[in-house]
Amino acid sequence: MPFFSEEFRTKLYFRSPQSVKRLWDRLGNSAFAKKIFSKISENDVRFSIRFFWFHEPSSELVQQWYTHAIRFSFDRSGLVHELQHSSQALQFEPELKNAPVPVESDYIDFSYRLFLRREPTERERKDWLQKLRDTNWSFEAFVSSFEDSHEYRQRLKVEAQPYLVELDQFNLYVRLGDYFTSAPIALRKDYEPFISHLIDKIVQPDDYVVDVGANVGYHALHMAVLVGNRGKIFAFEPHPGNCELIELSVEANQFTNLQLFPYAAGDAAGEIELLVEGNHTNARLNSNPEFASPRAERYPVRIVKIDDCLGHIPRLHFVKIDAEGAEPMVVSGMSDLITRHRPILLFEFFPDFISMTSQIDPQRFLGQITDFGYRLHVVGETRRLTEASTPSQIMLKQKDSGITHVDILAIPVELKGSPFV
């Protein structure tokens, strides 16, 4: 999510109050949401904005960022990562930058939790209270004292290293500094459980599967277990750091049925720029520089057509695509395989990203899938699929959902009475 300009990101992150209410209503009754709510508070948001934007936030701004943190399952460190990389801060005067930090234990306690991930000792709290009384510590100097500490720098160093998570069916390397994907996997020992449940139903022993946008490899390794030694997983992932993690995981599990292609997938072969911001394992193709964040790191990567890479394979049963808006480009670049083998397709449908990255009307893209002879189902987080929907119906469902994207399962029309519905 952090790869676009601030105007576009604000549109994605901060939905209308009605949309936010629908999101909260839907999340509020789930055990998953209760776990999230216990991790971060509105006060965490308020202190974080004070410390990293040097700004006293309004209640509305706190509510916006709190909703965003809940939507993406952030802990305090994940929230701070987003605040640090958001140019929204430029909209506000940093009036607290040189202001003195109040002599209150709340400021000290929060700083230890935020930067060092622990509570201060009684001695540390007393020492800081005395320092704040004796000297007017500005917010900037106070924050710098923690950021420059050996303990904080050591924590960042540790979080950047590959970390092995032991799961039920396989082991997976992640980086704990990645607050979007890796840290939640390490915490909950699963990832996108509704998608995993669907994969369990679809993928069978001996299947051939393509995973485009494999990220750190959770679903790819899960499917490698399901297909067994005579099946094959072809994983496409352009992010260099993610590729390192996937290779480590494949070695740790001694899998011989997963082949990694360290490339982006698209509708033409060549080179393209990959945008990566901070510690995120998500990355986006820079096909539309107008919407690229200036804060993003840029990596030149090879882009390939999957038809060119896998045109020789004898069968293909399932394709999963999560390409941050490049889904239409991916499908176009593997149209021969789709026509020949008729695999089931599962893809993320994020209309705003599709418009920006693939520069195609999102509804038209859905129409192209139906033109291939597929019926479309929206995947719900209740582990149920909707009845088959037209492209226009899906556009309305996504708009009314209050969230930025939905997952679509596309099933060949010749598969009657699908067990997945």
**Residues 139-155 pLDDT 10s:** 999 999 999 999 999 98
For the chain, the helix, strand and coil percentages under 3-state DSSP, each to the nearest 5: 50, 15, 35
**Residues 58-109 pLDDT 10s:** 999 999 898 878 776 677 777 877 787 776 777 888 999 999 999 999 999 9
pLDDT of residue 293: 66
pLDDT of residue 31: 43
Q: What SS3 class is residue 341? A: helix
- Cα dist. 325→99, 185, 287 in Å? 43, 23, 10
Comparison of pLDDT for 345 and 24, the residue scoring more: 345
Most confident of 5-9, 65-69, 74-78, 133-137: 133-137
- Indicate the length of the chain as a whole number: 421
**Predicted confidence (pLDDT) at residue 116 exceeds the cutoff of 70:** yes
Q: Are strands 318-321 and 374-379 parallel, antiparallel or unpaired?
A: unpaired
Comparison of pLDDT for 383 and 168, the residue scoring more: 168
pLDDT (mean) for 226-240: 97
**Predicted confidence (pLDDT) at residue 126 exceeds the cutoff of 60:** yes
Q: State the residue for tokens 């890479």.
A: 309
- Confirm if 124 and 112 have CB atoms less than 8 A apart: yes
Q: Which of 78-82, 116-120, 178-182, 264-268 has the lowest mean pLDDT?
A: 78-82
**Residues 290-336 pLDDT 10s:** 666 666 788 899 999 999 999 999 999 999 999 999 999 999 999 99
Q: Are strands 297-304 and 318-321 parallel, antiparallel or unpaired?
A: unpaired
pLDDT of residue 21: 39
Percent of the chain past pLDDT 70, that is, above it, reads 84
pLDDT of residue 402: 65
pLDDT of residue 29: 39
Amino acid making up residue 260: L
**Residues 330-381 pLDDT 10s:** 999 999 999 999 999 999 999 998 998 999 999 999 999 999 999 999 987 6
pLDDT of residue 278: 66
pLDDT of residue 156: 86
Q: pTM here? A: 0.81
pLDDT of residue 292: 64
Topology (CATH) of 163-412: Rossmann fold (3.40.50)
Confidence grade of residue 22 (pLDDT, cut at 50, 70, 90): very low
Helix axes 362-371, 391-401, angle to 10 degrees: 140
Comparison of pLDDT for 4 and 108, the residue scoring more: 108
Percent of the chain past pLDDT 90, that is, above it, reads 61
b/e map 245-263, b = 16+ CB within 10 Å: bbebbbebbebebbebbbb
Sketch the domain layout of the chain as residue ranges: 6-148, 163-412
pLDDT of residue 61: 93
**Structure tokens that stand for 296 in this block:** 């993003």
Amino acid making up residue 404: T
Other CB atoms closer than 10 Å to residue 149's CB: what's the count? Answer: 13
Q: Residue 11 is inside which H or E element, if any?
A: helix 6-13
- Quote the CA–CA distance of 207 and 234 in Å, as a whole number: 11
pLDDT of residue 308: 98
- Confirm if 50 and 57 have CB atoms less than 8 A apart: yes
pLDDT of residue 209: 98
DSSP-assigned letter for residue 102: P
- Confirm if 55 and 96 have CB atoms less than 8 A apart: yes
Q: Are strands 258-261 and 232-236 parallel, antiparallel or unpaired?
A: parallel
Comparison of pLDDT for 353 and 211, the residue scoring more: 211
Confidence grade of residue 276 (pLDDT, cut at 50, 70, 90): confident
User: In angstroms, what is the C-alpha Rg of the chain?
Assistant: 23
**Predicted confidence (pLDDT) at residue 26 exceeds the cutoff of 50:** no
